[in-house]
Amino acid sequence: MPQESSCPSESPTSRTDGADTPHGGRTGHIGRIIFLNGTSSSGKSSIARELLLTLDETYFHMPVDAFHAMRSGHEVSPEELPAILRRTWRGFHRAVAGMAAGGNNVVVDHVLSEPWRLLDCLELFPPRNVVLVGVRCPLQELERRETRRGDRPVGLAARQWDQVHAHGLYDIECDTAATGAEDCARQIKDFLPRQPAPTAFEQLRAKLRPDLPAAG
């Protein structure tokens, strides 16, 4: 006797997440990526959690910290660590791209503290379907949060500060020192139906990755 699946059956008429319906200029059959970029302790994860509660469609939160946490716990030498971290980030990017390609909407929290990370994402992510969100916070407040949290290296946010927003272009920005996570999530939700074209990702791809073919 065939075993019953633990997942609900799905038919083309039962889809309710909107992933197969183009709207706001999105490419049909490809999920939307809400890309939260900011330094450590800037409030990205808090916004992501609120977005999952606020958004009407189904979204998956994919934090890079979850990918780092999957790594086995054996000791890694300082010489090995940079290459391992780079491979982790590359794999993370491809996992996000794969989820979107499968028609899933995704909320990503990211730290664009190395230029190659943005270049990699520009190649992999469908630029019309990306909402690039700048999550900003004054450095003094970041340092206060960092000290209070106690689970981040002291000075991490300061080291990331100059690079994270260096590309200088967003679809929408939030200041988490002035606005709480719930209100930031609501602002992003309200922005989605009126995201202009070209998107920030389309503009950045044309500027920074002219080697790539024009996105369809």
Instruction: Supply the pTM of this predicted model.
Output: 0.86
The pLDDT score that the predictor gives to residue 20 is 40
pLDDT by residue for the chain (216 residues), tens only, comes to 444 444 444 443 334 344 444 345 676 789 999 999 999 999 999 999 999 999 999 999 999 889 989 989 888 899 999 999 999 999 999 999 999 999 999 999 999 999 999 999 999 999 999 999 999 999 999 999 988 887 777 788 889 999 999 999 999 999 999 999 999 999 999 999 999 999 999 999 999 999 999 876
Burial class (CB in 10 A: 0-12, 13-18, 19+), 75: exposed
Instruction: Mark residue 136 as left, alpha or beta (left: phi above 0; alpha: psi -120 to 50; beta: remaining).
Output: beta
Q: How far apart are CA 66 and CA 52, in angstroms?
A: 17
